[in-house]
Chain A
Amino acid sequence: MDNVSHPFYDTLMALTQVSSNKCAGGFQKVFEHESSELRCKMKFAVYLPPKADTAKCPVMYWLSGLTCTEQNFITKAGSQLPAAEHGIIIVAPDTSPRGCNIEGEDENWDFGTGAGFYVDSTEDPWKTNYRMYSYVTTELPKLINANFPTDPDRMSISGHSMGGHGALICALKNPGKYKAVSAFAPICNPMQCPWGQKAFSGYLGSDRSTWEAYDATVLAAAYSGPQLDILIDQGRDDQFLTASQLLPDNLIAVCSEKKIPVVFRLQPGYDHSYFFIYSFMHDHIKHHAKYLNA
């Protein structure tokens, strides 16, 4: 097998199709691969719109929230129809490394497995595997661009809750890399909320200054780069909003001051679930399409 040494084949061979279903005229697929960044097998979902048969398409990365796998988004969010309409490939990775046999990884629903928080951990015992930030911003895009009909210059990012936090920090830390960004009920200021404090102290240690690199509100205050246009939807009856886990007001205050364009919509009656996400997915895909297809 001298093919193994060939880098292209190396990557290609590493992809294993787990499932493929025709959906909205295109295909919803799930693949498995060996992640070099996370040092474990990872699954990700990819939706290929009908347009991908004949042309290179832009890619929207979707980052899910706490406890999710790649399945929640593709089965509940209703993203495929609008993605097909606008010719956008959607890639939805898992939310953390899995099966790394780290002590305590499965003990909490808001830390460890299913709660990677899209950071590169610096602390033992997590730092070897929990490098979700590098995974979603570097390894995964490379893999996707090598294996699917994408236009590498046109990518965008979105997510929900912890994934909303992930989407915001990816966009704010990499000016110009993502053409558009949006979020559903994101954790806007993790340094100031219980979820974030727990995760950051676990993954990054007790020095709070290192946390700032992964806090959307802090990053926004220091942002300089191409004009952003951030769309955020938030359910007004979201229990985690009331529990001060999400803190959107802090982000809005900073963005107002820094003149970073945000449209923040407080949707009455909606909670934190995928029912809420499903209701506004169309608006978000359209928001991404505006910049991805410009």
Chain B
Amino acid sequence: MTFNCFQSETVTIRNRLQGKIAEMESFAGHLEEIFLTVEENFGRQEQHLEQHYNDVLQTLSQRYDERAAGLEEEKKGKLEALYNQLLACGQAMDASKELIETAQEVYRSQDKRLFLKEIDLTLATCLEFNTPLADLSDVKTMMDSINVVPAPSAPVINPQMPNSATQTSLRVCWSLFSDDTVEYYELYYRPVLEDMPADSTFSTVKVKETHCTVTDLLPNAQYELWVTATNTTGISPASEKALYMTVPSPPVIKQRECTSCPEAALIRWESGNTNPVDSYTVELSEMGTDGTESSVTESIVAVPTCQCLIQLQTGRRYLISVRAVNIGGPSVRSEAITVSTTGTFFYLLEDSAHPCLSFSEDGFTIFYGDEELPISAMALGDNTFTRCVAVLGDLIPVRGRHYWEVEVDDGTEFRIGVAYEDTGRNSYLGANNTSWCMRHILTPSRHKYEFLHNGWSPDLRITVNPVRIGVALDYERGTLSFFNVDLEQHLHTFHCHFGNYVHPCFGMDNPGALTVHNGIEAPEYTFI
């Protein structure tokens, strides 16, 4: 019974001991873990400290070197000064000796007053070294900063990514070297302007992420950006400065300066940006017969100037737009222009017009009013026709076939044809060898028609006065033909190899009007 009782007590104690042992084992495990962590942390801390003390020592030794160099320099100066004084002293001794001799002579003489000559023998150089107080505050800061969380190191700003910019915004990204603790970043930016002072103001954005989109910027402008990281301990040094560029504003197509023919179009535009851009991209898409636009079918890239001659297919309709491009990327598209390649299309070069001419709103009807212009209104530009009341058309420079029509009334005396761009502005169309034209003259008895070049015309008679004249120019064959459109009647053909590009020309010899019709398909008979 006692034994049994004792035995059960033993079992209880043993179990309790076993439990304790297990607890102690787990405690020992915990201790081991803690030990490892502490050891690891100490290791890391030791590394940090070591690095930090190294920094401090390096700084101190640097300071020491600087200071020692300074003292050395000072010592050298002082020694030089002392040496100089020694020399001076020697010289003074010599002088004194002479003086003594002189004094003895004086003594020997009767006059005893000359011996009292004073000699300054004090040292001019201060014997104390002037040691300035060492400013060790930064060392102290470094010592103080030996802390648990180091301040972050400088972030690394990324170069600009393609297509990350718009006309007014830039998306900027950066990263950190290590697993620094960072509370927030600050992004600094300012435009790089030609006349920018070095310390011009900058803007700041505070963000928690490692990227940021900066808005409200100038188009086609270069920006300088840098970033700092901050935590409770402090602020990191600034990153390197990166240069980003916003994309340009879209160009503006100059509708009235675009010209086309069945094979090509010449598109001209304004940059839309005050600063130069790198290049332009011209995009064209063909329009379906139902007016729908297909996706971009072709683009011409790296166009350096504000104009582009584009080869096209005959008898189609195209939508053409332009983008300006810089290192930041392409601008949005300009407003598109519609080009139809049915016929040759051009506007008039109104700056070449004689002052007596005026134009309808669409630019295609030319008026020669009969009221006299005051002299003041006769403002003549370099390009202006001064004698012949005429104007040139802006024909596309393509050596193909071109056709246009001119509507006249048979009371108007006119000259229509072609001329070289540099045809004499003070001579009459057809009177020189740089222009070819059909001329209508009203004589008291009849309508006379001339086909003038270099002042000469064949002698011919036309029985039905043309009121709509077709002009067909064929560079390849070297022909310029005139037709009575209503009758499909051939009137005359000039045969001439046009060495340069020609422009359509329209002149009037008496007040009246004429209307240019272009962009129309050349009738088949015009190029037989």
**Residues of A that sit less than 8 Å from B by CB:** 227, 229, 231, 236, 252, 255-256, 259-268, 286-287, 289-290, 293-294
Contacts and interface: CB of A to CB of B under 8 A. Distances in A.
Contacts of B477: none
Contact of B490 (A236, A252, A290): A290
Contacts of B464: 255-256, 259-262
A263 B528 contact: no
B460 A264 contact: yes
Given A261-B484, A287-B490, A294-B525, A256 B458 contact: no
Interface string B431-456: 00000000000000010000000000
Contacts of A268: 459
A231 B463 CA distance: 11
Nearest to A254: B463
Nearest to A256: B463
A264 B528 contact: no
A266 B459 contact: yes
B463 A259 contact: yes
Q: Which of A227, A256, A263 has the most CB of B within 10 A?
A: A263
26 contacts: A227-B487, A229-B487, A229-B489, A231-B490, A236-B459, A252-B463, A255-B464, A256-B464, A259-B463, A259-B464, A260-B464, A261-B463, A261-B464, A263-B492, A264-B460, A264-B462, A265-B458, A265-B459, A265-B460, A266-B458, A266-B459, A266-B461, A290-B488, A290-B490, A290-B528, A294-B524
Contact of A256 (B446, B487, B490, B491): B446
B459 A255 contact: no
A263 B487 contact: no
A252 B528 contact: no
Contacts of B458: 265-267
A185 B165 CA distance: 78
B461 A264 contact: yes
Interface residues of B, number: 18
A contacts with B: majority SS: mixed
Contacts of A267: 458-459
A290 B525 contact: yes
Nearest to A293: B528
Contacts of B488: 229, 290
Interface string B487-501: 111111000000000
Given A256-B463, A294-B524, 7 more contacts: A227-B487, A229-B487, A229-B489, A260-B464, A261-B484, A263-B461, A264-B461
Contacts of B487: 227, 229, 261
Interface in B461-491: 461-464, 484, 487-491
A293 B446 CA distance: 34
Nearest to A232: B461
Contacts of B492: 263
B464 to A, nearest CB: 5
Interface string B125-164: 0000000000000000000000000000000000000000
A286 B528 contact: yes
Given A286-B528, A289-B528, A294-B524, A262 B490 contact: no
A127 to B, nearest CB: 36
A236 B492 CA distance: 18
Nearest to B449: A263
